[in-house]
Amino acid sequence: MVELLRTLGTGAMIAGIVAFVLFLLLYLTGSDWRATPIGRYVAAFFGLIAVLLIYIAVITFLMPALPLTVRLIIRLWVFGSFATLGWWLVVILLRVQRRERHDRE
């Protein structure tokens, strides 16, 4: 039973990574995502979710074999990216809200 759950979990992880990466590639190449704040948000959000899923896969399968320094660099990059995106989204939201208030006046 444990092996079945491990196999199903690995399959779900791989399916999630493929889905988010594929969505991101299709979105970035087939949409004018830079034209609007929401488009930029969607690109950043899905990109970061894909990075998080890949990070989880790396932790699951490769991290025990990697040196501590490499693991810490990967961790800093992933969580630093999340922090940067979070603050970037706050800036985008404030700009959109300010523009909407200005348009109403």
Instruction: Please answer whether residues 68 and 75 qualify as being in contact, where contact means their C-beta atoms are separated by less than 8 angstroms.
Output: no
- Residue 46 and residue 13: Cα distance in Å, rounded? 15
Confidence tier at 27 by pLDDT (50, 70, 90): very high
Q: Could you read off the pLDDT of 44-87 as tens digits, one per residue?
A: 888 888 988 888 888 888 777 888 888 888 889 888 988 988 89
Share of the chain above pLDDT 70, in %: 100
pTM for the model: 0.67
Place of tokens 């025990």: 64
Instruction: Please answer whether residues 14 and 20 qualify as being in contact, where contact means their C-beta atoms are separated by less than 8 angstroms.
Output: no
Amino acid of residue 35: A
- Residue 85 and residue 51: Cα distance in Å, rounded? 12
